[in-house]
Amino acid sequence: MLTIGELSRATGVKIPTIRYYEQMGLMAAAERSGGNQRRYEPQDRDRLSFIKHARDLGFTIEAIRELLELSAHPERPCADADTIAIRQLQIVRNKIAKLRPLEKELERIAACCHGDSIRDCYVLQSLANHDMCVSEH
Amino acid sequence: MLTIGELSRATGVKIPTIRYYEQMGLMAAAERSGGNQRRYEPQDRDRLSFIKHARDLGFTIEAIRELLELSAHPERPCADADTIAIRQLQIVRNKIAKLRPLEKELERIAACCHGDSIRDCYVLQSLANHDMCVSEH
DNA sequence: ATCTTTTTCTCCAGCTACTATAGCTATTAT
DNA sequence: ATAATAGCTATAGTAGCTGGAGAAAAAGAT
Ligand SMILES: [Zn+2]
Ligand SMILES: [Zn+2]
Ligand SMILES: [Zn+2]
Ligand SMILES: [Zn+2]
């Protein structure tokens, strides 16, 4: 039996976040002590570690909810779980693909300013005029 | 004189977003028609285009507010504006640096599952066990 | 001048995934 | 018994919008 603080230290998930996950239905409502404090079993720690790892990899709460539901049916095919992972990979690749042109433009913008007054500032001129940009973004 | 809809079409910024920017103090409170509708001048369109471009490049509202305030003083040195752009470049690079390991892990996780049942699913096993990961993340 | 359609108005709620109070109670250590 | 630590609920705040309700204004057609 773990207190919420012990569970927090064991998983690296902050206490308010654990309560939030309970509210969101990712974690079952915990058993309570006589004084109404949450008490956890070891398997709760495993579940929370799973959630944390998935969150660290960027899965949304909703995706994690689906993954956890799938886990509850070991006999079923795993295609749905694989699909969720592939979708998440695409999401991450998409984010990178959107950030790279920004990086390029910002490199140019930050490197090219040799003006000394606001009037001549290449940064401000670039922001005012997308035509100076090399890429769409 | 532009209506809010015309300004929206001219800049690609949605109408509720324009009102939101006004509320946030990025856009000055617009003049009103007799019937209390917003009317804009051409320079409002320039300002909004600047805001949109900066937002597209990922600058926060707060950073944009600072950039706009700097623009109002053409005589001053532009070092502060340059610093804001460099900071934004670092923010973008940081985001990419955090996403790349996720992409790697997700590639592995999504590619390696050859199980057919949830019980053997490599995706779910990987999420349950960070030790299977190649990188920290 | 009237009718209809489109546009705009304000206010408010919701989105994601937490995080941070405030005010109170339970548990533990000495 | 007392003090220190830990936990409870409820609510509000974060960033940057986005959508809806219900009413009023403007524009176009007849
Ligand atoms: Zn400059
Ligand atoms: Zn641009
Ligand atoms: Zn699988
Ligand atoms: Zn991992």
pLDDT in tens, B35-85: 999 999 999 999 999 999 999 999 999 999 999 999 999 999 999 999 999
pLDDT over threshold 90, residue B103:
yes
**Residue A32 has what pLDDT?**
98
Separation of A74 CA from ligand 1 center, angstroms?
60
For the CA of B106, the nearest ligand: 4
Among A73, A103, A106, beta carbon nearest to B85: A106
| B38 bridge partner residues | B32
pLDDT, mean of each 10-residue run, chain A (137 residues): 97 98 97 98 98 98 97 96 97 98 97 93 97 95
H-run or E-run covering B108: helix B79-111
CB atoms within 10 A of CB A36: 6
Residue B115 has pLDDT above 90, yes or no: no
Chain B (59-98) residues lying within 8 Å, Cβ to Cβ, of chain A: 67, 70-71, 73-78, 81-82, 84-86, 88-89, 92-93, 95-96
Q: Which residue is it, tokens 């140019």? A: A108
CATH of the domain spanning B4-59, picked from 3.40.50.720, 1.10.1660.10, 2.40.50.220, 1.25.40.10: 1.10.1660.10
* Token couple for B87: 């900071």
Q: What are the start-end ranges of the H helices in chain A?
A: 4-11, 15-23, 42-56, 61-71, 79-111, 122-128
Among residues 100-119 of chain B, which lie with CB inside 8 Å of chain A?
100, 102-103, 105-107, 109-110, 113, 115-119
B96 pLDDT higher than 90: yes
- For chain A, the structural domain boundaries read 4-59, 82-132
- Taking the C1' atom of every nucleotide in all shown strands and the CA of A17, the nearest one is C18
Per the listing, tokens 């049942």 go with B117
Each residue's pLDDT tens digit, A87-98: 999 999 999 999
Nearest residue to nucleotide D25 when comparing alpha carbons to its C1'? Answer: B35
Alpha-carbon distance of B46 to B36, in angstroms, equals 23
Q: Residue B50 and residue B64: Cα distance in Å, rounded?
A: 9
Nearest chain B alpha carbon to A100: B96
